Amino acid sequence: MSPLSELQELELEFVLPTYARQPVEFVRGAGTRLWDSDGNEYLDFLSGISVLNVGHCHPRVVAAITAQAARLTHVSNLYYTEPAMRLSAALSRSSLGGKVFLCNSGAEANEAAIKLARRARPGGEIVVVRDGFHGRTYGALSATPQESKQAPFAPLVPGFVVAAKDPGALAAAVSERTAAVLLEPIQGESGVLVLDDELLRSARAACDATGAALIFDEIQTGMGRTGTLWAYEQTGVVPDALTSAKALGGGLPIGALVTGPRLADTFQPGDHGSTFAGGPVACAAALVALELCGDPGLLVGVSQLGERLAGSLAELPAVARVRGRGLMVGVDLVDGAFAPEIARRALLEQRLVINATGPSTLRFEPPLIVTDGEIDDAVARLGNLPL
Ligand SMILES: *Cc1c(COP(=O)(O)O)cnc(C)c1O
């Protein structure tokens, strides 16, 4: 029996079937490369869904994890540890200048954001926009207006309002009853849909007029993915809070809610918490990842590399449209091309890791350290598929 088929049997018998996995077992990663259990090498243009922005097993991240793991892995938030305090300071200084709540995932970061907004405006509504994705836990799921994800799990958390992605409609949905407007500046899971700056400005103005909090979910767009450390920097709109996760830990699970000054003192002791939150190992990794992703040289490269990737993808015959910002790129395929099948064949036949966000959309999110040559290689591999 091959190592993979044994894992598949274990999965069938023992793993709750929440994922449709591809038939590949990865055993090692370095930079932009992955290796499977048969020794095949892959080019990774997904980064574990925008998690490995610094590349797989970045030597500085590995060193920080190893050193911290050998010294102290956990004490709870009843005590101080240096990595959590230093990471909070670095996150605040890199963005909104307020205070930070650390947690363990993206959904948890959004849960914290929703609770913070309701704490600031008790009983208030949370306005979200169509096609948004904010996670799978109940609060985050209630903020994710997608029928297929929500319907089987009703009833959801009350008080969520869905607005169309239109400046007027969004403004009309926000009132004195609104606690927060929560949105992704670029909607990743729905296929890399870039929200217009005009929509973001309308959200900002409506929040200013009503005292609601504007919260950007930067879980996928942050950590340099779009060519600035945070995507909001390119929109001209500054939110009152943002959430981060995915690439924040350089590969380890961690999330964060970062506020601006206005919401910095809303939570009081006892309002929120999590046993593992701010754990020293994840925070030590995140401190390095945040420093690496904020490097101005790297960020300039992300914009240039993103243009090269988008430009060459646009020339493939099967590609109808390319959108995105920096190295967050989505591609709509021409009629008749089935994106999940193309992603599967790219993986199995071309050893190129990408994914499909829907039946006609492919998503490309390589590590930010990708090279021009690797971009050309990835596009050539896709071009090899008879589409
Ligand atoms: C991935 C993602 C989440 C959920 O993060 P998890 O760590 O999977 O809980 C929330 N919002 C956005 C924009 C995401 O991309």
pLDDT at 132: 98
Report whether 174 contacts 126 (CB < 8 A).
no
Atom of ligand 1 nearest to the CA of 110: 10
- For residue 73, being part of any structural domain is answered with yes
Nearest one of 383, 355, 347, 373 to 50, comparing CA atoms = 355
Residues 304, 286: one domain? Answer: no
- For residue 7, being part of any structural domain is answered with no
Residues 136, 206: one domain? Answer: yes
Residues 99, 167: one domain? Answer: yes
Any idea what the CATH number is for the domain that residue 106 is in? 3.40.640.10
**Helical segments of 95-212, H only:** 106-120, 138-142, 147-150, 167-173, 197-210
Interval between CA 252 and ligand 1 midpoint (Å)? 14
Indicate the pTM of the whole model.
0.98
Residues 85, 225: one domain? Answer: yes
Q: Which residue has the tokens 């914290």?
A: 112
Which of 268, 293, 318 is where one domain is finished?
A: 293
Residues 153, 112: one domain? Answer: yes
Residues 98, 111: one domain? Answer: yes
Residues 68, 120: one domain? Answer: yes
Residues 6+ apart with CB under 8 A from 275: 76, 77
CA torsion, points 382, 385, 386, 387, in degrees to nearest 10?
-40
DSSP assignment letter at 153: G
Structural domains counted in the chain: 2
Does the beta carbon of 134 lie inside 6 Å of ligand 1?
yes
pLDDT at 2: 73
Residue 326: both structure tokens together: 């920096």
Does the beta carbon of 217 lie inside 6 Å of ligand 1?
yes
Residues 223, 343: one domain? Answer: no
Which of 278, 293, 308 is where one domain is finished?
A: 293
Residues 331, 257: one domain? Answer: no
Residues 123, 197: one domain? Answer: yes
Pairing of strands 241-244, 100-103: unpaired
Residues 6+ apart with CB under 8 A from 309: 327, 329, 364, 366, 375, 378, 379
- For residue 17, being part of any structural domain is answered with no
Burial of 245 (0-12, 13-18, 19+ CB in 10 A): buried
Any idea what the CATH number is for the domain that residue 306 is in? 3.90.1150.10
Cis? peptide before 155, omega within 30° of 0? yes
Does the beta carbon of 125 lie inside 6 Å of ligand 1?
no
Residues 6+ apart with CB under 8 A from 169: 163
Does the beta carbon of 135 lie inside 6 Å of ligand 1?
yes
pLDDT at 1: 56
Does the beta carbon of 184 lie inside 6 Å of ligand 1?
yes
CA-nearest residue, atom 7 of ligand 1: 106
Residue 365: both structure tokens together: 């999110």
Residues 329, 271: one domain? Answer: no
Residue 32: both structure tokens together: 């932009």
Does the beta carbon of 243 lie inside 6 Å of ligand 1?
no
Question: 128: which strand partners?
Answer: 162, 182
Among 246, 248, 254, 355, which is best to mutate for testing ligand 1, by the most ligand atoms less than 8 A from CB?
A: 246
Neighbours of 168 (CB within 10 A): 11
Which of 235, 258, 293 is where one domain is finished?
A: 293
Among 133, 195, 216, 248, which is best to mutate for testing ligand 1, by the most ligand atoms less than 8 A from CB?
A: 133
Question: H-helix or E-strand containing 313?
Answer: helix 296-314
Does the beta carbon of 220 lie inside 6 Å of ligand 1?
yes
Q: Which residue range(s) make up the domain with 109?
A: 59-293
Tell me the torsion sign for CA atoms 9, 10, 14, 15: negative
The whole-number mean pLDDT for each consecutive block of 10 residues of the chain, a chain of 387 residues, reads 89 98 98 98 98 98 98 98 98 98 98 98 98 98 98 98 98 98 98 98 98 98 98 98 98 98 98 98 98 98 98 97 98 96 98 98 98 98 89
Does the beta carbon of 365 lie inside 6 Å of ligand 1?
no
Residues 230, 105: one domain? Answer: yes
Interval between CA 170 and ligand 1 midpoint (Å)? 22
